[in-house]
Structure 1
Amino acid sequence: MNTTKKLISLALSGAMCVSLAACGAGSESTTAEGATVYRTLYSSEVTTLNYLTTSLTNEYAIGANVVDCLVEYDSYGNIIPSLAESWESNDDMTEWTFHIRQGVKWVDKDGNEVADVTANDWVSTAQYVNDARNAADNQYMYSTGAVVKNAQAYYDYTAYLLTLETLGLATGENAVDDAGDPIEVVDPVDADSIGVKAVDDYTLVYTLDQPCPFFLSVLSYTSYMPVYGPFLEECGDQFGLDNENLLYNGAYILSSYLPQQERVLTKNQSYWDKDNVFIDEIRQTYNAEATNVSVSMYQSDEVDYAAVPSDLLDAMLADESTANLVHGSRPDVSFSYFYSFNFDPQFDEQYEPENWKLAVNNENFRKAIMAALDRVKALTVSEPYNPSDLLNNTITPANFAVGGGKDYTQYDALLSYTQGDSFDEAKAIEYRDAAKAELTAEGATFPVKVLMPYNPSTTNWDKECQVVEQQIEGLLGSDFIDIIVQAGPETGFLSAVRRGGDYALMKCNWGADYADPQTWTEPFVADNSYGFWDLSEDPETQALFAEYSAKVDEAKAIYDDDAARYTAFAEAEAMIIEHAIAIPFSVSAGDGYIISDLNPMEGEYAPYGVALQRYKYQHLSDTSVSMEEFETAYKEWEEARAQAIASTEE
């Protein structure tokens, strides 16, 4: 079998198909009984199967395959119908109506039909998730970006009741907590007032507090998955405890669930779209040493997937018997990494916070660091073979958001950054000299101390910091800048360091919540915990922040013209980069280097929600692909995706 040709032809033909997998199957591994079985190991057990409350990938990866959403995605990120056959919104996009697919069944772990899927199942979800008693980690999706009417108000009211119940108090004006502080009274809000209504069994309406052109993209989060209300009520606290306390309407049923032994996902024979489910069984076996043994087990044909540890990678690529099995993975653009300047330093006097305030508010100083940072060199620490694949030239990654028929990063305001490289030795020296003259006049002292902490529990972060320190100091001069690399706490790093402002310059990341550039503005707006730009006391920095905020508000107000909305957001984001408020760095490496018999370009694609965790549309091949084959297929996928995006606007 020529795997290269198979992957390339799939990627090219995919532009004309809803899914790559729909265009033809490859050679698949089967059991003696003829069933296609995909075998993997796992080393981290889930704490719950309750998809309505979890925001952990390890946990919702199961829910993603056993419960369908209103919408799903093709292999290029286009939204397509799932349990909603069609939908429409009102003119200002504050009311969204979904027409539910009829004939879809809820089944139990043995495949027995229990009930029909109806619009009421999403009402049950909304009322459950927004009840504070259920402690749903994903509840914020009803109030961030997309704001569902009365969802947060109901949550706040139930949180108030929960506080009183915990303290053994009755509602009233004079209730106080254990410290004697008064508990603020919250007016009653009824669950039925939440803006999620079943007009009839197959018509579902969401009412929002503000226009939301990207609302469809929040619907594949766990907090918007349906649940059969009577079953949920019957289970009570036992819901999601095991596979018997779940119902299924998705591509698979969790037919076996033995903690720290195995999980078996079996094809749902009652599934409404079972012709697009090509793997009959996913068998996941627990092994505490999965990372260490998966490669050898792949070679002995015991599993069909293995993550390649970094200490084995060089040897496997040099070995003819394994070199053609190892390949990279598609970069994960759901996270963006950037170096953040802290405008409100809260670190110790020994690191000279007042001197840092002078420096960080000087644009030429920030630009000098930005131009001096060789991001490719820094990325070789974690990605020695293809570091440029992870490079991110904008805050919003390429291949994330699409509007007006093109990728967001291709809009005019961002295009020069998308196609360029901020690393420029000559410019770095020019900015340094200008900054030194300006800062000297303001009374700053040199070298400027730059506290740059890292989390010691994150692999290779310390090494990356050392490379950055040596490279920037080597270019700008240690008489100008003194980068102080320091290990932060292994636990509570986020709260103590980033949120606590205990840094001068640090690599940060942000994860997207929905398919719109608005989600990437959140680290830079008022009251954020990234960089504290809004807290700067410098007049020029304050003016720049005000200008950026106004542009973001302008962009948010545009809901009926994707091109105009994206243009405005691109102009706002360009301000962040042009003035070096933050330095775009990279996207995530995804699964890293792997051996896998799954075609990596076939499945659903969306860098948010649960799409990337689903096995629907994927085929199982009889071998893995090489590095070269994967790179070729990935480039073809990018080209085909661009064509598919453009075709949606024709």
Structure 2
Amino acid sequence: MRKTNWLLLALVLVLSSFLAACSGGSSGSGGSGGDGGSGDSAEGSANGEQVFNLLIGDEIPSMDSSLAKDQYGIQWTSEIQEGLYRLAEDGSLAEGIATGDPEVSEDGMTWTFTLRDNAEWENGDPVTAHDFVYAWQRAINPDTGSEYGPYMMGDVIKNATAINQGEMDVEELGVKAVDDYTLEVTLDHPIPYFESLTTFPTFMPLNQKFVEEQGENYALEADNLLSNGPFKMTEWKHGSTMKFEKNDTYWDAENVQLEEINLQVSKDIATGVNLYDTGEVDRAPLTAEFVDSRINDPGYVAIPDMASWYLKLNQNRVGEETPLANINARKAVAQAIDKEGLVNVVLNDGSIVSNGLMPTDFVKGPDGTDFREQNGDLLTYDLEAAKESWTKAKEELGQDEITLEILTGDTDSSTQIVDYIKEQLETNLEGLTIKTMQVPFQQRLDLDTAGDFDIQVSGWGPDYMDPNSFMNLFVTDGENNRMAFSNKEYDSLVEQAGGENATNPEARWQNFLDAEKILLEEAAIAPLWQDGNAFLWSPKVKGVFPNPAGNDFEYKWAYADNAAAESAE
């Protein structure tokens, strides 16, 4: 979950081709002036109408926390629901429904959480340990069809994998309510980052009575949702607008100062900029063609992001082997794109070239060295090597002319990116024809799930603060591995990191370093860039901070400083 994440994280507001996670991911205050606390800061205080008007790049595919798998769903389920913990501004964990630190058994396998007794659902029902048990069992139940359930819980919560494969009953999941306010979780093996996982929507509680009363209609409309978080969804005009209002029954409502968040769907960047200039929205994403002309605007901000973008190179498209099953074809594609031109000209938003999967400044090893720095550049732009690999590929495939299709989103930004990639590949690899398939966000998610693409412009923001959030993506038959990549040594390294080396930081770190090298040596993906995000951001928008994992932004501690906006005019 971009993203758990970070996100994460790449912002789907800008590029609708982002796939969860996530999101995305995304550290720093980004000029928002937030203090993550009371609503007052050195830069201003809450005053005037406490309303934000924001843009969203497309419809939210699902507000069901068991089914949310993209940054839209992850972002807004995280605002209407709350799990055991939530992320604070510095990436640390803030108390949610859980109070204090959990008790952890000596072997690291049993975690006991004490829940607050003053948390309520929007309808007045108390939030209890039973709500967590129900939600977690629902997410892992194969009948639910959750992608993140098995991804986040498999080989983490005891018996989760067997349950999802239909081999055990959901009641045997390693989670139980000791009493109404004590939750006991049994892990499959020690998980160093388990607390971080609990901030993700998959692990948020659900009110069983309400969900079952709604049946198939649950989470399809605003009226079919029940909040226990800082906000509640009150309007949902599909494909058009959404409204979130402060949830007065939230246990920490006194520290939620924002009264209303209005979302308006806009895929067109120019339209968004115009809406910002006329004061109709308080934030608008910028793409390359707008950055140079608006970089000196008082509202211009550039926010670094933990999202990693790459081409997914599908080796088997819906049961039929593609030319990309040939390793030399994959290497040629991966090394034939001038990434400096992509980030400096096409994106022009603070993004940086990526030559690996793991983003820069995301995680550090036991000795304090950044992962990206330690593993270095693994797959770079190298035109001579690309042409040599392409010649070999055509000989091995017995083809002089090859056609491949690239799947991406239907926004202006997506068009600019895919046009650049198409031009680079067709120019640099003789005999290659690139067709583009640009589709709405939900359709792209469906095609990705089906593995129905040759190449896909894809991104991932971390769902939690650990290398595993990236490295677990490409294990054989993994929920997010939709491109037929399979490598036994890669699988073994990731498995060791989560198993026998889970409590050995040095060995675990080396597992991840070696796994990434295999992924890039095999050219399973073609790394492109690490996200930066440029915005026009109203001076009144305070207390909003981007997350390094999970949902892109946190709004619980946000507030409107209307006086700051007036003085900036």
TM bucket, shorter chain = 0.7 to 0.9
Q: Secondary structure at the match of 1:577?
A: helix
Say which of 109, 127, 133 aligns to 1:117. 127
Matches within 5 A, 1:3-152: 19=36, 24=41, 26-27=43-44, 30-31=47-48, 35-41=49-55, 44=58, 46=60, 49-85=63-99, 86-108=101-123, 114-131=124-141, 134-136=144-146, 138-141=148-151, 143-144=153-154, 146=156, 148-152=157-161
More helix by share: 1
Say which of 202, 206, 209 aligns to 1:223. 202
Residues matched between the structures, number: 527
Other-structure match for 1:379: 343
RMSD: 4.6
Judged with a 3 Å threshold, the aligned counterparts in structure 2 of structure 1 residues 596 and 145 are, in CA distance, closer, same or farther, namely farther
Q: Secondary structure at the match of 1:564?
A: helix
Judged with a 3 Å threshold, the aligned counterparts in structure 2 of structure 1 residues 443 and 498 are, in CA distance, closer, same or farther, namely farther
- Over residues 352-375 of structure 1, what are the superposed CA-to-partner deviations in whole Å (9 max), with x where a residue is unaligned? x5xx87xx456xx87676565421
Letter in 1 for 2:549: P
Matches within 5 A, 1:239-638: 239-240=218-219, 242-243=221-222, 245-254=224-233, 256-257=234-235, 259=237, 263-274=242-253, 276-277=255-256, 279-284=257-262, 286=264, 293-308=271-286, 316=294, 323-333=297-307, 335-338=308-311, 340=313, 342=315, 360-361=326-327, 373-380=337-344, 382-384=346-348, 386=350, 389-402=351-364, 404=366, 406=368, 409-410=371-372, 412=374, 414=375, 416-417=376-377, 422-423=380-381, 428=384, 451-455=403-407, 457=410, 458-469=414-425, 472-473=428-429, 481-488=430-437, 503=454, 508-510=458-460, 512-522=462-472, 524-527=474-477, 532=484, 534=486, 545-557=487-499, 558-577=501-520, 580=523, 582-589=525-532, 592-597=534-539, 602-603=544-545, 605-608=547-550, 610=551, 612-622=552-562
Q: Secondary structure at the match of 1:455?
A: strand
Judged with a 3 Å threshold, the aligned counterparts in structure 2 of structure 1 residues 151 and 576 are, in CA distance, closer, same or farther, namely closer
Judged with a 3 Å threshold, the aligned counterparts in structure 2 of structure 1 residues 232 and 575 are, in CA distance, closer, same or farther, namely closer
Other-structure match for 1:195: 174
Is the contact between residue 39 and residue 283 of structure 1 (CA under 8 Å) also seen in structure 2? Answer: yes
CA offset at residue 566 of structure 1? 1.7
Q: Whole-Å Cα distance in 2 between the matches of residues 340 and 332 of structure 1? A: 22
Is the contact between residue 337 and residue 421 of structure 2 (CA under 8 Å) also seen in structure 1? Answer: no
CA offset at residue 470 of structure 1? 6.0
Letter in 1 for 2:105: N
CA offset at residue 547 of structure 1? 4.3
Is the contact between residue 126 and residue 223 of structure 1 (CA under 8 Å) also seen in structure 2? Answer: yes
Q: Whole-Å Cα distance in 1 between the matches of residues 145 and 86 of structure 2? A: 26
CA offset at residue 264 of structure 1? 4.4
Other-structure match for 2:13: none
Q: Secondary structure at the match of 1:123?
A: helix
Q: Whole-Å Cα distance in 2 between the matches of residues 497 and 240 of structure 1? A: 23
Between 1 and 2, higher relative CO (CA 8 Å, sep ≥ 6) is seen in 2
Q: Whole-Å Cα distance in 1 between the matches of residues 420 and 211 of structure 2? A: 48
CA offset at residue 523 of structure 1? 5.1
Q: Secondary structure at the match of 2:228?
A: coil
Q: What TM-score results when the alignment is normalised by the length of structure 1?
A: 0.66
Q: Whole-Å Cα distance in 1 between the matches of residues 28 and 250 of structure 2? A: 29
Alignment gaps of 5+ in structure 1: 1-7, 109-113, 158-186, 474-480, 535-544, 625-650
- Over residues 147-178 of structure 1, what are the superposed CA-to-partner deviations in whole Å (9 max), with x where a residue is unaligned? x3344555555xxxxxxxxxxxxxxxxxxxxx
Q: Secondary structure at the match of 1:107?
A: coil
Q: Whole-Å Cα distance in 2 between the matches of residues 368 and 130 of structure 1? A: 39
Q: Whole-Å Cα distance in 1 between the matches of residues 55 and 523 of structure 2? A: 44
Is the contact between residue 131 and residue 208 of structure 2 (CA under 8 Å) also seen in structure 1? Answer: yes
Q: Whole-Å Cα distance in 1 between the matches of residues 241 and 449 of structure 2? A: 38
Letter in 1 for 2:436: A
CA offset at residue 99 of structure 1? 1.5
CA offset at residue 342 of structure 1? 4.5
Q: Whole-Å Cα distance in 2 between the matches of residues 288 and 393 of structure 1? A: 32
Q: Secondary structure at the match of 2:341?
A: helix
Is the contact between residue 326 and residue 593 of structure 1 (CA under 8 Å) also seen in structure 2? Answer: yes
CA offset at residue 30 of structure 1? 3.7
Q: Whole-Å Cα distance in 2 between the matches of residues 451 and 347 of structure 1? A: 15
Letter in 2 for 1:227: L
Is the contact between residue 18 and residue 74 of structure 1 (CA under 8 Å) also seen in structure 2? Answer: no
Q: Whole-Å Cα distance in 2 between the matches of residues 21 and 404 of structure 1? A: 35
Letter in 2 for 1:26: E
Q: Whole-Å Cα distance in 1 between the matches of residues 185 and 102 of structure 2? A: 11
CA offset at residue 72 of structure 1? 1.3
Taking only the aligned residue pairs, the percentage that are identical comes to 21
Letter in 2 for 1:62: W
Answer with 1 or 2: which has the greater Rg: 1
Q: Whole-Å Cα distance in 2 between the matches of residues 10 and 287 of structure 1? A: 25
- Over residues 480-532 of structure 1, what are the superposed CA-to-partner deviations in whole Å (9 max), with x where a residue is unaligned? x54332335859778879976875x7755456454432343345433465664
CA offset at residue 217 of structure 1? 2.7
CA offset at residue 225 of structure 1? 1.0
Letter in 2 for 1:561: N
CA offset at residue 400 of structure 1? 3.6
CA offset at residue 396 of structure 1? 1.6
CA offset at residue 555 of structure 1? 2.7
CA offset at residue 120 of structure 1? 1.8
CA offset at residue 207 of structure 1? 1.9
Letter in 2 for 1:417: D
CA offset at residue 251 of structure 1? 2.0
Q: Whole-Å Cα distance in 1 between the matches of residues 314 and 59 of structure 2? A: 38
CA offset at residue 559 of structure 1? 1.0
Is the contact between residue 64 and residue 218 of structure 2 (CA under 8 Å) also seen in structure 1? Answer: yes
Is the contact between residue 191 and residue 498 of structure 2 (CA under 8 Å) also seen in structure 1? Answer: no
- Over residues 281-317 of structure 1, what are the superposed CA-to-partner deviations in whole Å (9 max), with x where a residue is unaligned? 1241657798665434433434322334766555555
Alignment gaps of 5+ in structure 2: 1-26
Q: Whole-Å Cα distance in 1 between the matches of residues 236 and 317 of structure 2? A: 50
Is the contact between residue 342 and residue 530 of structure 1 (CA under 8 Å) also seen in structure 2? Answer: no
Other-structure match for 1:210: 189
Is the contact between residue 598 and residue 618 of structure 1 (CA under 8 Å) also seen in structure 2? Answer: no
Is the contact between residue 327 and residue 523 of structure 2 (CA under 8 Å) also seen in structure 1? Answer: no
Judged with a 3 Å threshold, the aligned counterparts in structure 2 of structure 1 residues 80 and 240 are, in CA distance, closer, same or farther, namely same
